[in-house]
Amino acid sequence: MSGHQTGLAAEDIAVRLYEAQQGKVLERRWKRREGEIDLIVSLGGRVVFVEVKARKTLDAAARSLPPRQIERMFNVASRYLAESGLGLNTETRFDMVLVDRNGTAEILENALMQG
């Protein structure tokens, strides 16, 4: 499978994880010039911004998000809140979904902290 196909398959797995928790996917691959957010989910009264990482192992996936990408994600999330009309006071969370080559997946809630 190509990297692009692997990424799409990992995002499909992530969607199913959030839907199993009664989450509603608002956006997939939401792009602006500042960057992209893989998934934006409405879950439990908050908006969850999700970065999906697929690697050989879950540990490798967990280590694959550089600080610069995290900063871009916060910037794009702010833009989404402004453009969607939800506003910057909306309760949010930044998660990572890790997927290994066997399709095993794990949600890391609040994995991305603004600092």
C-alpha separations of 50 from 1, 4, 20, 95, 97 in Å: 23, 17, 15, 5, 7
Torsion from C-alpha of 42, 65, 103, 38, nearest 10 degrees: 30
The residue whose two tokens read 């009264």 is 45
Residue 37 belongs to domain with CATH number: 3.40.1350.10
Note the pLDDT tens digit of each residue in 9-67: 999 999 999 999 999 999 999 999 989 999 999 999 999 999 999 999 999 998 888 88
Domain that holds residue 96: 3-108
- Write phi, then psi, for 103 (nearest 5 degrees): 90, 5
User: Does residue 114 lie within any of the structural domains?
Assistant: no
Note the pLDDT tens digit of each residue in 63-91: 888 888 889 999 999 999 999 999 889 99
User: Does residue 115 lie within any of the structural domains?
Assistant: no
Q: How many domains does the chain have?
A: 1
User: Does residue 55 lie within any of the structural domains?
Assistant: yes
User: Does residue 113 lie within any of the structural domains?
Assistant: no
State the Cα–Cα distance between residues 90 and 72, nearest whole angstrom. Answer: 19
